[in-house]
Structure 1
């Protein structure tokens, strides 16, 4: 049916699960936005992670918020821009539910009770099953619990192996719309990124299993790994940098205990060549996020190394990876899932990375106290890396942790941080 016919099936008050990232369906979302603009739907809510401009230009428009209420589980640049605009006119920020990525499918099913899934899929196979392609994540669970499953079939969506299909019998409406997937350009790398990448690469042994985030630092780490051998991948996010390691033979997944020989992920973002690499590739497999990000599943692979970014680290090692200047910047995502999974792995390492400074060098990211929420508690943090070195916090007292972190802070802030460290009278 048409996108307009499909969204007409969504009732007032619907709790809609919108796909993550590149799987957000442009035709369906445009039709839903038009329906809201015409006053034909009221009281609906949108639950989602990591929106793109596809959603930003349609269902997340500010003028529609009284009919389509956005509830983010992980902010992107779209929500940050909306919040800036809202502050200027005295409107409300985009609301957010704090939740670990691994728990999102259960939360959407049991606590929110989403009733409608909208997502892009690859064309059906010979059995009529649709591949969720780049985005198995929480869409897989939603497709099995929602009363309405509305799919936008796009021939540009890669078909991925693993456990990421929707059977035809579960689908309520099919919209056909071919449009190239959004492409995420590689981040421009600065000298600090290259320095951090080299330090982290030096902490990774041959045969390790990797989890990487997105951005300049993970790309710099991947670029610095080209002398390594027999690496594996078990990552919530699959990126072009990780794909390049597979194509170069550096990642062969031969040392993995769980899914040996295969790269495992739950969602992917990149460019057209990257999507072509994923399409029908038997060496990669996409699985639901409540499996990929399960701490016990992550820990099955020995020498698991997680690499995640943060915004600031306090002198005891706690990390704020989601809030800046009193505003939500991103969210917890799967950071703590992989911090704990890597820590539970035999020989595993959890690495948190950040530039030593922000705001063009005027602000230290190593701070006496966090200015936002604790994303990764001090109890869980293992290794912190800046361009000035690595601080291994395991087995260190609060004072020793502070000293180790000050040693990797920017030199211009070290005296001030040292004074703050020794002025504290307790561990709080």
Structure 2
């Protein structure tokens, strides 16, 4: 096909012309998808090794989830929380049971879940712990990525996310990720929570040292501080367990969930905790018009039921082992380091070879889509429906660009 017959260049130009430049996407224009594969407007197919930053853990258009969405679209899509609909209780109960908690507070986006967690922790601190009014603080980690609202970027250490968005919200103490001594020292009598990603995604799929999460759990219990686990990217099967915290037998006081909870169809997020924590909220104190809407609940309850079988966690563990084994073979052959767990990997490319952006562009030319972060690092997060052959294919294409 000659270049002047391709639709992609014009579609890229139109997107650049009419949208704010808050993203720098690869010049690929997707028109359809199924499973782990995407097709662009010119008919070229790509293997998806990003999976919507884990929002597509179950692949594109999983038939069970699509069927649930279609069925609900024919009946009811929105009521607001002014009323109760017939999908709401099932979703909340089954998600609470999956998490081993009492209550669910449904929202829409991951950032909303984080904001909700912050508000609940502060209110718990004032009403239950007895922190003086206006003095609550939350300990967070360097390299965090919890969203892009004004409050959340106030404690980001990524200047691209933070710069020129002040004045910043106070009440946060930042400590090095993985440093239990620093975290312990930062907790004072007014600390209401520790907010962490069990594995830092945006930072490059950084796994903390063994024993760190159990140590955080222990110090939070000892000091009467809530442990909030942001499992928005790391949760729901991505790492080979339901939650990344599960790998070290840790149960936080509060789960923040999102992305995959919506099955790649609708935005769904949730805060999940026990009644002694979420029970501090009373009517009128927090809410969302679309949070817990019928369409979202119909899809999300099917996501929860799929996870309850354990099938996707097993796939992630087994196929993740294959992925990481293949990637480790490339260390010293263009890769400097490989990190991650399950079907989630952060790769540091030798910066003398290329940037992460260049690597992703070259992979796209070979039909594999991934995403760069922080210079020479790229992230791989294929859908959990990926096959052994597709994993091997992606690793082969990565090897090819590193040795070209």
- Compute the TM-score of the two structures, normalised by the length of structure 1: 0.27
Asked which structure has the greater RCO (Cα within 8 Å, sep 6+), the reply is: 2
- Compute the TM-score of the two structures, normalised by the length of structure 2: 0.28
Higher share of residues assigned helix: 2
